[in-house]
């Protein structure tokens, strides 16, 4: 194994685990780099924190087009195609940058693995300005690392290098100006597809618009005016996305997205309404009624709509209860059996039996068998 300090980068030691092929690729602005990564702790066991192979999707990075990921560019641009290298990174001289980049990547990688994130993972790798706005990351080990940063080991495998002219740029690869121009176009296309009942296609348009917005928003300071403006646009698109999911029967994903909006921004009426509708579909009667009540508090003019939804909810719950009653009744009847041939007639009252008489339903218990 070839070990060396990485030139020009203090606190980073590189170890080549498997040599690559060919010459060092040409890395210019806009070059797309595809790679797998594994993150290890610097403990005796070298605990694996994250592994992109477990998700099954390699990471993609554009040289010169990422936010606060210069260190990742430096690591990758020192590699040849097919090379596997281990980088020991001491966060101290890098002002915690590497560590917080890792947390950003780790958080989104896990959300994808858990099926919680509807968006592409480039959203979170493009910036970390407000990833800690809500304190807890939702994973105890990451929360612990956030409290006590420490050196990390990154194992990178360079899979592919595409020059700017060799690939078609996706939304995540656009400039911020191009992204903001694309958002209203994608939004409008999604709305048209929704009206045509083409919900799957509409979700793709809304999702792409969300990716564009989030890539821009991550570069803004949380809760300041530009960030809040983008957040409002993000909510509109996410709720449209949820409307499609309702039509597609993805009720639990609707519950997750609407709850996330309500948790961080209570008072968004449409989020409560869509969550109430999703609760209806999964038979959460109390939760649905609670959300419908909140809709009325926020907008009394919704009274007629809410009243109709509540009537539908009550009717459906009654139908479900009747269905369950008949179902359990059928189970109970099915369990009743007629007396089997094992039954014996007891003697008349007052007359002792001439021999030992067993009373049985024909089903011997475990204890009975053991006594035998």
- Which position has the higher pLDDT, 183 or 368? 183
Instruction: Please name the residues in contact with 117: beta carbons below 8 A apart, sequence gap of 6 or more.
Output: 108, 111
Domains and CATH numbers, the chain: 2-170 (3.10.50.40), 172-309 (1.25.40.10)
How much is the pLDDT for 364?
Answer: 39
Whole-number average pLDDT of the chain: 80
Bridge partners for 87 per DSSP: 14, 154
pLDDT in tens, 272-327: 999 999 999 999 999 999 999 999 999 999 999 999 999 999 999 998 888 878 77
CA count, 13 A, side-chain hemisphere, 94? 26
How much is the pLDDT for 4?
Answer: 57
Q: How far is CA 156 from the centre of its chain?
A: 24
pLDDT in tens, 42-54: 888 888 888 888 8
- Return the top range by mean pLDDT from 79-93, 131-145, 261-275, 331-345: 261-275
**Above 90 in pLDDT, residue 116?**
no
Q: What sign does the dihedral 303-308-311-317 (CA atoms) show?
A: negative
How much is the pLDDT for 327?
Answer: 77
> The pTM is what?
0.54
Range with the lowest mean pLDDT among 42-46, 67-71, 185-189, 298-302? Answer: 67-71
Model confidence at 218, pLDDT cuts 50, 70, 90, reads: confident
* Angle, CA of 353, 357 and 362, to the nearest 5°: 155
Q: What percent of the chain has pLDDT over 90?
A: 43
């Amino acid at each position: 194994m070839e070990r060396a300090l990485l030139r020009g980068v203090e606190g980073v030691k590189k170890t080549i685990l498997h040599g690559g092929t060919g010459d060092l690729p040409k890395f210019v602005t806009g070059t797309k780099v595809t790679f797998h990564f594994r993150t290890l702790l610097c403990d005796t066991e070298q605990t694996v924190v994250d592994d992109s192979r477990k998700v099954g999707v390699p990471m993609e990075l554009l040289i010169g087009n990422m936010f606060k990921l210069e260190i990742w560019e430096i690591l990758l641009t020192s590699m040849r195609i097919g090379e596997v290298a281990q980088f020991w990174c001491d966060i101290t001289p890098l002002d915690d940058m590497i560590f917080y980049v890792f947390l950003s990547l780790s958080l989104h990688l896990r959300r994808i693995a858990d099926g919680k994130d509807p968006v592409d993972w480039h959203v979170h790798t493009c910036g970390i300005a407000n990833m800690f706005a809500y304190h807890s990351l939702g994973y105890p080990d990451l929360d612990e690392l956030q409290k006590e940063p420490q050196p990390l080991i990154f194992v990178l495998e360079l899979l592919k290098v595409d020059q700017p002219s060799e690939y078609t740029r996706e939304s995540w690869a656009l400039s911020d100006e191009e992204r903001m121009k694309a958002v209203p176009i994608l939004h409008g296309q999604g709305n048209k597809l929704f009206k045509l009942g083409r919900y799957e296609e509409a979700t793709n348009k809304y999702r792409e618009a969300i990716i564009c917005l989030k890539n821009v928003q991550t570069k803004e300071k949380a809760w300041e005016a530009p960030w809040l403006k983008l957040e409002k646009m993000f909510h509109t698109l996410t709720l449209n996305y949820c409307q499609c999911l309702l039509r597609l029967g993805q009720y639990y994903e609707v519950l997750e997205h609407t709850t996330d909006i309500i948790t961080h921004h209570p008072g968004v009426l449409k989020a409560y309404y869509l969550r109430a509708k999703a609760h209806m579909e999964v038979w959460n009667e109390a939760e649905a009624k609670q959300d419908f009540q909140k809709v009325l508090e926020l907008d009394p003019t919704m009274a007629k709509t809410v009243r109709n939804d509540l009537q539908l909810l009550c009717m459906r719950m009654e139908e479900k209860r009747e269905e369950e009653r008949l179902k359990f009744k059928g189970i109970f009847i099915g369990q009743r059996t007629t007396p089997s041939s094992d039954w014996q007639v007891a003697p008349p009252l007052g007359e002792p039996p001439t021999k030992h008489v067993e009373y049985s339903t024909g089903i011997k218990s475990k204890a009975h068998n053991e006594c035998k």
